[in-house]
Chains A and B, each alone.
Chain A
Amino acid sequence: MSRTGRRISDRFNLLKSQERIGLVAFVTAGDPDRATGQEILNGLPAAGADLIELGMPFSDPMADGPAIQLANLRALGNGASLANTLKMVAEFRTLDDETPIVLMGYYNPIHCYGVPRFLDDCITAGVDGLIIVDLPPEEDEELCHPCLTAGINWIRLTTPTTDQARLGTVLKNSSGFVYHVSIAGITGTRSADLDDIRSAVDRIRTRTDLPIAVGFGIRSKEQVREMAGTADAAVVGSALVDVIRAGLENDASKDEIVRNLHGLVRDLASGTR
C-alpha cells in the first residue's frame, strides 16, 4: 500500500500507543492568502495538530456556518483555486511526510477539474483522504469508488439524523476514519450535548473498527479533553478560522495572525494530553 493509504492509520495507531485523543485542525486553503495560508499549514504539526483537514475553497459552501463561509470568500478573493490547494499540499509534503492531510470541500470544483486528473494530482501532492460534503452514498459512483480505487481514503460524515438503518449505508465504503458531526446543523454554530455524542459514538463503534473523529462545535481545550475516552480525535475548525478573521479586523500583521492561530492550536493540543 502506498504512503497515501497508510498515513491516517499510522497516525491513529500512534495515538493509540500514546493513549491519547488526536487533534484534527481544520483550515481553509489559501486563507487569508496563499503565502500566509501556506505558513499556517506548514506550522500546524509543530503546534500540535495530529491530522490536518484542509478546506478546498468554494463559492457556495452550503454546509458551513458564517466563519468558514467568510474563510472561503477571503481565500477565493486572493486567488485560491483547487490547483493551488494541491500545490499547498505538495509544498507541505516536502517538510512533513507523516501528518495526514484530508481535503474537505464540495464536489463542483472537482467535477470541473475532472475526477481522474484530480485523483492523480492528489496522489502526487500527498493527499490522504477526501471529505466531500455533498456526495452522499447515493452518489458513490461519482467520486467515492474512483477515490477508493486510487488508494485514497474516503471519509464520510455520520450525523444525528443517521439512524441505525442508514448507518450501514454510510459506513459502507468509508475508510480512514469516520467523522461524526455532533449536531444537526452547519459548522461553527452550536455545541452538542456530551451524552448525545457519547451514545452516538458508542452506536457507531458497534458497527465499525474505524477510528472516530467528532466535530462541529468544538472550540476549546476543555471540549477536546471531554472528547477523550469517547472519540479518537476531535476536529476544530471555525474557532481556528475565526482567529484569521479577528486578526484581519484588528489590522494584525500576517506574522501575528500565523502566530495567534498556531497559539490556539497549541492550546487545543494541550487538551489531548
Chain B
Amino acid sequence: MSKPESYRSGPDDRGHFGIFGGRFVAETLMPLILEVETAWNRYRNDPAFNAELEYYARDYVGRPSPLYFAERLTEELGGAKIYFKRDELNHTGAHKINNTLGQILLARRMGKRRIIAETGAGQHGVATATVCALFDLPCVVYMGETDIERQAPNVFRMKLLGAEIVPVTSGTATLKDAMNDALRDWVANVEDTFYIIGTAAGPHPYPEMVRDFQSVIGREAKAQLLERENRLPDTILACIGGGSNAIGLFHPFLDDESVEIIGVEAAGLGIGTGQHAASLSGGKPGVLHGNRTYLLQNEDGQIHDAHSISAGLDYPGIGPEHSWLNEIGRVQYVSVTDQEALDAFQLSCRTEGIIPALEPAHALSHVAKIAPGMGKDRIIVMNMCGRGDKDVFSVAQVLGEKI
C-alpha cells in the first residue's frame, strides 16, 4: 500500500479510513446519523463550542492532565525514560469524560433531551451519567448483565448520578450486546435521543468525533514533552479495546515519522486459546455496529465473545482508524496477556505508587518489555488512561486476597 501524504487526513466524507469505517446502520437511523454529522461539521470548528468545551475540560475535568516522569520505574527497568500521561487523574478517573463532555455539548446544541449510552466496565457509563447530571439530562445506560455483576461499584456510581441502568440479557449479555440494545433504543426514540458512543467506533461520524474529543491527550502530551525535554518522544504507547484513548494519544503524532507508535491489545489467556480481545491480532475484517473493521468472528461471520481480565478491553471489535493504521503499517499493534497485565499492575503500584486500571496495565506491560532494551537517552510516553480503584476487587480475587 502506498504511503499517504498525511496519516491525519482521514476519514473521507463518507467516513472511510481506507476500506474501514463507513455507515452500516438501519434506514431508520440513517437520517439521524446524517443529522449528527451535519451538527458535528457545524460545531467542530465553532469558537463558542470549543470555548465551552475548554472551560469544562479545565474547571470540571481538571485538564490539562500532567505528563509525569516515572523516575523509579525508569530506574527499575534500566533503559528508556518513561513518562506517564496522567489521564487517570481526570474527574471520574479515566479518559472517557473527554469524549462524553464533547458529545453532550453537541447533543445540547442539537436540542436532544435524552441521552443513552452503552458501557462494559462502567467507566464510559459513569462518565456519561456524570455529564448528564451536570447538564440535567435524563440518562439511560445499557450494560450487560454479566458486567453488572463484576462491576458493582460503577453500577452504584451511575445510580448515584441519577442514571437508569438497563441490564442487557440478550445475546451474551456483555458490551457488544449492550451496544446492540442501545442501538435498538435509539431506533425507537430517534426524535429526542442522542446516543453517546464510548469508543472511537460505530457509524461515521462517531469514530472521527470521538477521536477529535480524545486528541486533547496527544496534543497536551506533545506540548508538555517539548517543554520538558525540548523534543518529541521516541515511542508512544496506549492500550486498545475499542481504541479511544489510544487514538487520542496517537493522532497528533501520526505525521511525526520519527515517533514509533504502539497499540497494545488484550491477549486474555493467550491468542492461541481463542479467549482474548485482540481484534487485530486474532480477528479479520467484517461489519458490526455501523462500521467495517477487524472483528472477532467465526468462519460464518458470527461474532465471537471477547475475553480479557480488563472489562474495558473486552470488545470483539476495534475502531476503524486503528484497522487502517494497522493495514498501512503506521502503528504497530501488539498484545499482552491477563497475567502480564496483572504483573504490570503490581509493578506500577510498587514502583510509582500509582494503582493503574487494568486497561493501561496492558500498555505498561509492553513498556516493561521494550524499555530495558532502549538507551537511557530514549523517551517513552505511555497513556495512563484510567485509575485502578474499580479493579481492586477483581485483582484481589485473582491474587487470592479476601477484601
Contact = CB atoms under 8 A, between A and B. Distances in A.
Given A66-B170, A139-B23, A59 B286 contact: no
A108 B297 contact: yes
A158 interface: yes
A189 B188 CA distance: 10
Contact of B302 (A76, A157, A166): A76
B299 to A, nearest CB: 7
B190 interface: yes
A186 B27 contact: no
A162 B27 CA distance: 8
B183 A62 contact: yes
A226 B203 CA distance: 37
B375 interface: no
Given A108-B301, A135-B24, A138-B30, A60 B176 contact: yes
A112 B27 contact: no
B77 interface: no
B301 A185 contact: no
A162 B31 CA distance: 7
Interface string B18-41: 000011111111111000000000
Contacts, number: 119
Nearest to B189: A184
A156 interface: yes
A134 B286 CA distance: 12
A52 to B, nearest CB: 22
Nearest to B285: A111
Interface in A119-174: 133-139, 156-163, 166, 170
B195 to A, nearest CB: 12
A143 to B, nearest CB: 10
A194 B30 CA distance: 24
Contacts of B32: 161
B115 interface: no
B295 A158 contact: no
Interface string B135-158: 000000000000000000000000
Chain A interface size band reads: 35 or more
B202 to A, nearest CB: 12
A267 B22 CA distance: 43
A139 B20 CA distance: 12
A81 interface: yes
Interface in B146-198: 170-171, 176-177, 180, 183-184, 187-191
Contact of A73 (B171, B183, B285): B171
B49 to A, nearest CB: 26
A76 B180 CA distance: 18
Given A134-B24, A161-B28, A82 B300 contact: yes
A86 to B, nearest CB: 12
A186 B184 CA distance: 6
Contacts of A159: 26-28
Nearest to A66: B170
B342 interface: no
B287 interface: yes
Interface of B: 14, 22-32, 170-171, 176-177, 180, 183-184, 187-191, 285-290, 292, 295, 297, 299-303
7 contacts: A60-B289, A73-B171, A108-B301, A110-B301, A112-B297, A159-B27, A186-B187
